Chain A
Amino acid sequence: MLKLENIGKNYGDFTALTNIHLQFDNGIYGLLAPNGAGKTTLIKMLVTLAAPTTGTIFYNDQPIATLGEKYREQIGYLPQHFGYYKHHSPKQYLRYLAALKGMDKRVVEERIDEVLECVALADVKNKKMRKFSGGMIQRVGIAQALLSDPKVLILDEPTAGLDPKERARFRHLLTELGRDKTILLSTHVVSDIESIANEIVMLKNKELLYKANPATICHTLDGKIFETAMSFHAFNDFRKDYLTLAEKQETGQMLVRFFTEQTPKSDWKQVSPQLEDVFLVAYADEQKG
Chain B
Amino acid sequence: MSRKGDRVYITWLEMRKVLLSPVFLILLLLMIGFNLFSIWSDSYNREELQVVNKIIETYGPSFNDDILQTMERDINQLVIELGGTSTQAFLEEMTYEIYDHASSEEQHQIDHISLLYTYVQAAKELEARYTAIDIAKLKQDFLNAQTMPSWLEQKMANEFDNWHARFDEIVETNEYKQWFFLGEYGMHSKLFRSHMKTLAFEGVLIIALLTALIANYEFEHRTQLVTYATKKGRKLIWYKGFASLVCSLMVIAVLFGVTLGTYFTVYDYSTMWQIDISSGMNWEYTFPYITWWSISLWQYLLLAVVILTFVLIIVMLLTFTISVFVKNSYFTWLLSVLLLLAMYVMPTYFPNSTLQWMMHYNVTLLLLNPHQFFNGGTSFMMMQYHEFSTLLLWLLIASAGTIGAIRHFNVKDVV
Contacts and interface: CB of A to CB of B under 8 A. Distances in A.
Q: Secondary structure of the A side of the interface? A: loop
Contacts of A204: none
Q: Which of B1, B10, B218, B225 has the most CB of A within 10 A?
A: B225
B236 interface: yes
A279 interface: no
A101 B1 contact: no
Interface residues of A, number: 31
Interface stretch (B74-82, B199-207, B227-235, B281-289): B227-235
B411 interface: yes
B411 A100 contact: no
Interface string A19-57: 000000000000000000000000010011111000000
A58 B235 CA distance: 22
B414 interface: yes
Contact of B226 (A48, A102, A104, A144): A144
B224 A48 contact: no
B233 A81 contact: no
Interface residues of B, number: 27
A105 B1 CA distance: 5
A96 B222 CA distance: 15
Nearest to B20: A87
Contact of B222 (A50, A69, A81, A87): A81
Interface string B1-38: 10001100110010000001000000000000000000
B221 A84 contact: yes
Nearest to B3: A102
Interface in B215-266: 218, 221-233, 235-236
Nearest to A141: B226
B225 A69 contact: no
A49 B235 CA distance: 13
A221 interface: no
Contact of B413 (A50, A81, A86, A97): A50
A140 to B, nearest CB: 10
A72 interface: yes
A102 B225 contact: no
A252 interface: no
A50 B228 CA distance: 11
Contact of B6 (A72, A85, A102): A102
Interface in A75-110: 75, 77-79, 81-87, 96-97, 99-102, 104-105
Contacts of B225: 44, 49, 77, 79, 81-83
B9 A99 contact: yes
A73 interface: yes
Contacts of B236: 100
A83 B231 contact: no
6 contacts: A47-B229, A69-B232, A79-B229, A81-B222, A85-B221, A86-B221
Top 4 closest pairs, chain A to chain B, by CB: A83-B222, A83-B223, A79-B225, A105-B1
